[in-house]
Amino acid sequence: MVLRQPHPEHLPSRRASPCPPTLEPLAADYTFSIVRITEPAPAHEIARPAGVGLTAFALAALVAVDLIRGSLQLSSGTLAPALIFEQVFAIFGRGVELLLLWHYWRGQNWSRIFVLLWSFFIAARALSALIDRASNLTSLMSEPLSFFHLLLALWLLYWLNTRALRAWFKKMSATAADLIAEHLSGKLCTAVDKPSGDLWRLSFEHGAELTLACPWRIALDDNLAFASRAPEPRDEQDEARRLLQNIRVKSVRVAPRTSDLFLSFEMGIELQTWSTDPDSHQWTYSDPALTVTADAASLAAQLSDASAPPHAS
């Protein structure tokens, strides 16, 4: 999949030129969008995120356990007549849940909302049980199935609300900023080095790397703390490491027209890049699921099949 900005010919010139007051604004849409080089595939043929299948299987397994347990109780003949109807209704409800999980696996957004409601109910019930047991987490862990219910519910409440998953279920394309923020936010900077010339490389946890080929600087509480091409001699690598290493990224922003990158770190630190030549390479971000290459006129991203959101219709 390729992530593109509008073609450079649709963008305003970077050269300074007088602009008449009556000049009509450009009609170009500068919103990043994901497009395919080939004809777009139908939504049901586009690879779903790997976690959707795994969570659907886990939820279906939990429902199946309850379904089998209820069926065995019903067939044992030991239930009181008043409870038979209740058990039949519960078995019917489990069947409906399996049908809803099928739609969840196929990417229906309303089924994602259903799973979120289920997760909230499970988490609330577990919290209520902890309060009743005087916050004794050990007693809850002694029931493995209930404890797994709680862990899965908490994970789903977070994961199904991430930008990439919301975009996939809503059949929308994530913007460039959404994709990079989703992959880079929260990651710890583990190393800063300068392989050659003006090229810099920032390493992050989980195999992520950011290579900077353009000028960049570090602002600390809105004050200039480091510049990659500062005229005065200094040990640049040590200075950059001191400011960025072992600090986590809080947010990511990409300027839509110039592809300038802004990384906000903890402790009021911000990394800022800027372009100097419309045809020069600026930066490259890569991790096991996403690769983004940027220059001042375009932004191209390659996603793995497991994480690629669908084509925007």
How far from the centroid of its chain's Cα atoms is residue 278's Cα?
29
Contact 212, 200 (CB under 8 A): yes
Statement to judge: residues 92 and 122 lie in one domain: yes
Same domain flag for 101 and 140: yes
The one-character DSSP state at 19 is: -
Do residues 71 and 114 share a domain? Answer: yes
- CA nearest to 252, candidates 183, 181, 202: 181
pLDDT value, residue 115? 93
Q: What is the pLDDT of residues 80-132, one digit of tens each?
A: 666 776 777 788 888 888 999 999 988 888 999 999 999 999 888 877 776 76
Identify whether residues 120 and 214 lie together within a single domain.
Answer: no
Number of domains in the chain: 2
Which domain range does residue 233 map to? 176-303
Is 8 contained in some domain?
A: no
Rounded Cα distance, 76 and 96, in Å:
23
Task: Please check whether residues 65 and 129 belong to one and the same domain.
Answer: yes
- The answer to the question of residue 24 being in a domain is no
Same domain, 146 and 185: no
Q: What is the mean pLDDT of each run of 10 residues along the chain (313 residues)?
A: 47 45 43 37 54 90 85 73 73 88 90 92 80 62 73 90 82 69 92 90 95 94 88 76 94 88 95 85 90 81 54 31
Is residue 311 one of the residues assigned to a domain? no
pTM: 0.52
Same domain, residue pair 203 and 271: yes
Say if 39 falls within a structural domain: no
Structure tokens that stand for 282 in this block: 């600026």
H-helix or E-strand containing 56? helix 50-76
The pLDDT score that the predictor gives to residue 44 is 39
Residue 80: predicted pLDDT: 67
**pLDDT reported for residue 76:** 73
* Residue 43 covered by a domain: no
CA distance 24 to 271: 35
From CA 46, how far away is CA 309, in angstroms rounded?
8
Domain end: 134, 161, 188, which one? 161
Note whether residue 310 is domain-resident: no
Do 217 and 257 sit in the same domain of this protein?
yes
Q: Same structural domain for residues 196 and 291? A: yes
Mark residue 249 as left, alpha or beta (left: phi above 0; alpha: psi -120 to 50; beta: remaining).
beta
- On whether both 68 and 128 belong to a single domain, the answer is yes
Residues 184, 277, single domain; the answer is yes
Domain co-membership, 249 together with 282: yes
11 lies in some domain: no
